[in-house]
A and B are shown apart, each in its own frame.
Chain A
């Protein structure tokens, strides 16, 4: 059965690139897309994905708020959320872990590296 990953990302190019990598990952993955934090919360609640890749800088609702919302919902709290952000400072990393993210992955991305992180959490 395909694993479902929710990607919350407002940048079209980043969405395309993650989608490009996922399609070629040779993993059985279904990618769900949300363009802002609010959409991400709605989709997570509705679809209950296996993993969430969350951009922290998004319009409408940012990644921090969305993560808090998802982690605060009993139906979605178990879903691992990987912070997927351009902010690479230690304090940014600490903040993402604080709101409930299991991993901080900083952009720009390395396909191999990103897939390794995804595999790690999908297996667990």
Chain B
């Protein structure tokens, strides 16, 4: 059981070789996207005449009445705040996940109290109805 942890500690860093392999992989995936776009550019048809109407914004056939870039109520800003809280929580709990065994009961208490406080906030949010989509 402990074997895994000790291995994890030795390997627990982002090596240059791994990073380079990652860059290589991402380059290949970028090449796929680029080659498809270039292929489309070479092969696609071009209209002989262009009209403004064709490049008009699509609104189901109606004449577009206003730009879409206006201020409107983003209904989920409280959800976004909650997301930030819980995502930070996840980011802080993740490292504990690797060394749960070694930290033992102490780690459980620490993480438990931390998450417990957070869940108090969750209960408040549910009670207040802030997490309802209105």
Verify that A and B bind, or say they do not.
no
Residues of A within 8 A of B (CB): none
Residues of B within 8 A of A (CB): none
